[in-house]
Amino acid sequence: MQRILYAKPSITDAEVRAVHQAVSTGWGPDCYADLVRFEAEFAAYLGARHGLATSSATGALHLALAALGVGPGDEVIIADTNWIASVAPVCHLGATPVFVDILPDTWCLDPDRVEAAVTPRTRAIIAVHLYGNLCDMDRLEDIARRHGLWLVEDAAEALGSCWGTVHAGARGIVGVFSFHGTKVMTTGEGGMLVTSDADLYARASMLANHGRQPGDARQFWASALGFKYKMSNIQAALGRAQLARLPELLRRKREIFKTYARLLAAPRGAGLITMNPEPAGTTNSYWMPTVVFAPETGVTQAAVLERFARADIDGRSFFHPLSGQADFTPGHGNANSYSIAGRAVNLPSYHDMTDADMGRVAGVILDLCAGD
Ligand SMILES: *Cc1c(COP(=O)(O)O)cnc(C)c1O
């Protein structure tokens, strides 16, 4: 039996050819040839005016918040259930993260908790669309508008998730994406900032390039203290080849989720487990098919991961509350964040996995539901 990994990119000859081409010829006058095209093609796909390719989503978020002027004394509201990458830039800019609880069904920001957390110091809300699930953007937009806050979308896990034809990452003032090797499409490491705001784009581009103003006649002249968060042309060539296959990559992700949903229909119907929701009128990219065990089952995350390990399956832990990590203060009021993390896992979902692989994974979940 082969080990079942939880994630692995889908790389074909098209990607290999694109990288070979870029590494062979993408120098000198062509050193940004794939990069500028990748940014334009990605922004067009998303329905945003500008794309700025970066070395990671973490970098893109750091740039976005810096370009918005977030800094010391500011508070930024974010869900407690998240990966550390979504909050580290807030702290590095000297701002204070305010962790609020998640909704039990989407595992994303609870808008009522967001509203209650707003203070005179709040500057921004970071809406992270977790595992492909969409935040309640209608409510968040309303809250942001009434309180004069920036609404930033971390869509690193939601490339391909949409409300109708509107993409996750294209609704806030700025959105960020990741092309890490575990994401729907990859550039090895990499990210993208997207925005339709020309001023924000100009400021983020300048900051991403060590504070150099595009078109400045002076060489090696920094107009501001910036960062180095650029993507390489070689990575962009890989990104373009992946973007061309994105519909196929997304189709497969959805197929994998649907297969799991079918295999797990009985315990879902019985209310023993819940999985990623897809409200009417929306599309879920299903980046990470996720299973949350009902409290009555008594099944814990540790128990599931232990069973997976014994079956040679790479289990993936649902995110632990951030407030309990690093030197943050545990958010004891965030009951859903703390409770769900203890009884949830992400299921393996790489493109090349077989129905038999999914059967093996589902078998472990079914056994646990049956109390075996
Ligand atoms: C993967 C991820 C990131 C970080 O992406 P990098 O490209 O590794 O910096 C940020 N936010 C979310 C929600 C992610 O899933």
Q: Assess whether the C-beta atom of 57 lies below 6 angstroms from ligand 1.
A: yes
pLDDT-flagged residues of the chain (< 50): none
Q: Assess whether the C-beta atom of 337 lies below 6 angstroms from ligand 1.
A: no
pLDDT at 30: 95
Torsion of CA 140, 142, 143, 144, to 10 degrees: 80
From ligand 1's centre to the CA of 217, what distance in Å? 35
Q: CA–CA distance from 33 to each of 81, 103, 243 (Å)?
A: 39, 43, 16
Distance of CA 316 to the CA centre of its chain: 15
Q: CA–CA distance from 313 to each of 37, 163, 305, 339, 365 (Å)?
A: 39, 33, 9, 24, 12
Contacts 24+ apart (CB under 8 A), 246-249: 246/45, 246/159, 246/160, 246/184, 246/185, 249/10, 249/184, 249/185, 249/351
117: region left, alpha or beta (phi > 0 left; psi from -120 to 50 alpha): alpha
Pairing of strands 282-283, 162-163: antiparallel
From ligand 1's centre to the CA of 191, what distance in Å? 8
For 351, the token pair is 């493109």
Q: Which residues contact 356 (CB under 8 A, 6 or more apart)?
A: none
From ligand 1's centre to the CA of 177, what distance in Å? 7
Nearest CA to ligand 1 atom 14: 156
Q: Does pTM top 0.85 for this prediction?
A: yes
* Ligand 1 atom nearest to CA at 128: 13
pLDDT at 255: 98
Cβ-contact 81, 342 below 8 angstroms: no
Nearest to 161 by CA among 250, 91, 72, 226: 250
pLDDT at 1: 77
**Angle CA 249–61–325, to nearest 5:** 95
Nearest CA to ligand 1 atom 13: 156
* Ligand 1 atom nearest to CA at 58: 9
Nearest CA to ligand 1 atom 5: 57
From ligand 1's centre to the CA of 58, what distance in Å? 6
From ligand 1's centre to the CA of 220, what distance in Å? 31
Report the distance separating Cα 313 and Cα 310, nearest Å: 7
Nearest to 81 by CA among 109, 52, 45: 109
